[in-house]
Structure 1
Amino acid sequence: MASDAVFKYLTDTNRPYSCADITVNLRGTYSKNAVQKALDSLSELGKIRCKLYGKQKVYAAIQTDSEEVSDTEDYDSKIANLTKKLEENKSSLKTAESNLKNLLSAPTNECAISQIEEIKNNIVKLENKLSDLRNNADVISVDEKKNVLNEHEYYYKEYRKRKRICSDMIEAVLEGYPKSKKTFLDELCIETDETVNFKLVSKQ
């Protein structure tokens, strides 16, 4: 009979289950309706206890030995603790994923070394060019100088405009961001003029 099978299962496992769980765990030997009727009958006879968690009924056998399940066992507290641990684990996972993303986006040692060498070579070239400019008063013509100054003014204005757009975007994001501006910039690896001590001089 379904009642005997259900009672034996609950007694042997000594754990609370819902009707759906018991039906599945009995491998479909009895239909869900048959299992539910057996549970209702056993509950009326006082052989099992029924507890309501939200909209779901959970059933557990009433043990008669030293391992008797207490009516006062606080399953709600256990569920709350497990839920708290789950949220903590989700938070840790999110932090780990963020760190992994930053690490994957960072250049490898070989790539960084190559970039450093390239920058050093560019610095040497620029220093040589600057030295030539300082030592030769008439290196470029008046028209070339005018063109250079005009280009400098154009790019200076573009720099100011794009910096303002970027600042506006960051401020808009920070309105709904729960942490500080410094934390936000650090997480996105954004360097500002202030952090790298960069100063751009306009055309005089």
Structure 2
Amino acid sequence: MASEAVLKYLVDTNRPYSCADVTVNLRGAFPKSAIQKALDALSEAGKIKCKLYGKQKVYAAIQVDTVTEESDKTDYDALFKTLTQELADKTNALKTVEINLKNLTSTPTTDSAKTAINEIKNRTEATEKKLEILKTSTEVVSVEEKKIIMTEHEKLLKEYRKRKRICSDMLDAVLEGYPKSKKTLIEELCIETDEMVNFKLMTNS
């Protein structure tokens, strides 16, 4: 029966446990509802002690020649503080793991990154070939075509500056709580700046 198993476990371990603890430590031999019913019955029968800490009930066997009630109360208080601190520590550790997991899942995989790089390289090569053809071409671009090109260039230029500013703001925000230098952060994030790749911006002026 659940009552016999619960009583034996509490006597053998001689430690206070909650209903959830007893259920887990008995390795699912009985459902939690049966464990709770057994604990309440044993407590009412005076075979075990029940202490209430907030909404949490803690049970312990009544041992022969145990310490005085006052000392027993002190031990319960110390245990409760220890368990509370352990819970806080594990909660903080869980938050850290969840943040790391979120960062990892938001990072592109190696295959997707390689695919994106290849696409960019192909577009770059095509653009360079087109530029080379335009440089050697004797065809004259009309005023209207030139205006369209310049307008599109200005639009892309504004978007580039906007995104660069957003990126810079994000880095500055991270650096507020980052213990190392900006250079180290950029290296860890595998970011390439304009200066690192010798990129020079062409303006319409």
TM range (shorter): 0.5 to 0.7
2:83 matched to which residue of 1? Answer: 82
For residues 192 and 204 of structure 2, what CA distance do their matches in structure 1 show? 22
For residues 85 and 203 of structure 1, what CA distance do their matches in structure 2 show? 62
The question of 1:120 aligning with 2:128 is answered no
* Structure 2 unaligned residues grouped into runs of 5+: 23-32
For residues 128 and 92 of structure 1, what CA distance do their matches in structure 2 show? 53
Q: In structure 2, do the counterparts of structure 1 residues 156 and 99 end up closer, same or farther at CA, with 3 Å as the change threshold?
A: same
The question of 1:136 aligning with 2:137 is answered yes
For residues 127 and 111 of structure 2, what CA distance do their matches in structure 1 show? 25
* Structure 1 unaligned residues grouped into runs of 5+: 43-47
Aligned-CA RMSD value: 5.0
1:64 matched to which residue of 2? Answer: 64
Q: In structure 2, do the counterparts of structure 1 residues 16 and 115 end up closer, same or farther at CA, with 3 Å as the change threshold?
A: closer
The question of 1:100 aligning with 2:101 is answered yes
Over residues 110-159 of structure 1, what are the superposed CA-to-partner deviations in whole Å (9 max), with x where a residue is unaligned?
32332222222212111212222232354522321122112222443455
How high is the sequence identity, in percent, across the aligned residues?
46
Amino acid at match of 1:120: K
Shift of 1:91: 2.2
Q: In structure 2, do the counterparts of structure 1 residues 138 and 126 end up closer, same or farther at CA, with 3 Å as the change threshold?
A: same
Q: In structure 2, do the counterparts of structure 1 residues 16 and 151 end up closer, same or farther at CA, with 3 Å as the change threshold?
A: closer
1:152 matched to which residue of 2? Answer: 153
Q: In structure 2, do the counterparts of structure 1 residues 132 and 49 end up closer, same or farther at CA, with 3 Å as the change threshold?
A: closer
| Rg comparison, structure with higher value | 1
> TM-score, normalization: structure 2?
0.53
> TM-score, normalization: structure 1?
0.54
